[in-house]
Structure 1
Amino acid sequence: MALRDVSGAVDFSVLEAMTAGDDAIGEEVLGLFVQQAAMWSPLLDVRDDGWRDAVHTIRGAAAGIGAEALAQACAGAEAADKSTASPLLDRVRDALDAALADVAAYRHALMLKSLRA
């Protein structure tokens, strides 16, 4: 995977602005995002009492790295009633998968950049 594989699910200029372009800090933030996704994504099911907390947490993490579509999907699911949330949680999972793929490509590009330096 390389930077050319970035789909646009994440606007990395948001991350770069937040980190003042510091690649090490960007890598750390993206690593935390991946950890948050791994921790909270199993709860993205209305049968789990923590589903609303999961989308709320993922929403904040997504906004922090520039994953606007994911943040919006989370906002929609978070505002939904339990009876209507299931298809919205499917959207969250899809958006999360797209964001994680972009994050993997971007982190790979950061790693290559650090090897060249």
Structure 2
Amino acid sequence: MSRRDLTGAVDFAVLDRTTGGDDAVAEEVLGLFVQQAGLWSPMLDTRQEGWRDAVHTIRGAAAGIGAGHLAAACLEAEGAESGVVPRRLDEVRDALNAALADVAAWRHELMLRSLKG
């Protein structure tokens, strides 16, 4: 994966503004995002009591890296009526997977840049 594999799920200009364009800080922030996704994504299920907390946490992390579609999907899920929550959580999972794919491509690009010196 490399930058050419980006789908647009993450606006990395937001990350660049947040990190001041520092690749090491960007890598750290993206690593934390991936860790949080791994911790919270199993709770994206209405059978999990803390699913709203998971969605809220993912929304904040998504906004911090520029994953606007994911943040919006989380906001929709947080405020959804009980009958549509399962569908909204599916949308959150789909948006999270897209964001994680973009993050993986960007991190790969960062790694390649660091190898080139």
Q: Mark yes or no: TM-score above 0.5.
A: yes
Q: Counterpart of 2:10?
A: 10
Q: CA deviation at 1:50?
A: 0.7
Q: Report what 1:110 is aligned to.
A: 110
Q: In the TM superposition, what is the alpha-carbon distance from 1:82 to its structure 2 partner?
A: 3.1
- Who is 1:67 aligned against? 67
Superposed CA offset, 1:12-62 (max 9, x none): 000000100000000000000000000000000011101000000000000
Q: Secondary structure at the match of 1:16?
A: helix
CA contact (8 A) 1:70 1:92 kept: yes
Question: Gaps (5+ residues) in structure 1?
Answer: none
Could you tell me which residue of structure 2 aligns to residue 43 of structure 1? 43
Aligned residues: 117
> 1:116 deviation in Å?
0.2
Flag structure 2 segments of 5+ consecutive residues without an equivalent.
none
CA distance in 2, matches of 1:82, 1:35: 28
Distance in 2, Cα, partners of 1:18 & 1:104: 18
Q: What's 2:58 paired with? A: 58
CA RMSD of aligned residues (A): 0.6
Match of 1:84 in 2: 84
Residue identity matched to 2:56: H
Identity among equivalent positions (%) equals 68
Contact 1:46/1:82 (<8 A) preserved = no
Moved over 3 A (4+): none
Farther off after superposition, 22-31 or 75-84 = 75-84
TM-score where L is the length of structure 1: 0.98
Please give the TM-score of this superposition, normalised by the length of structure 2: 0.98
CA distance in 1, matches of 2:50, 2:81: 14
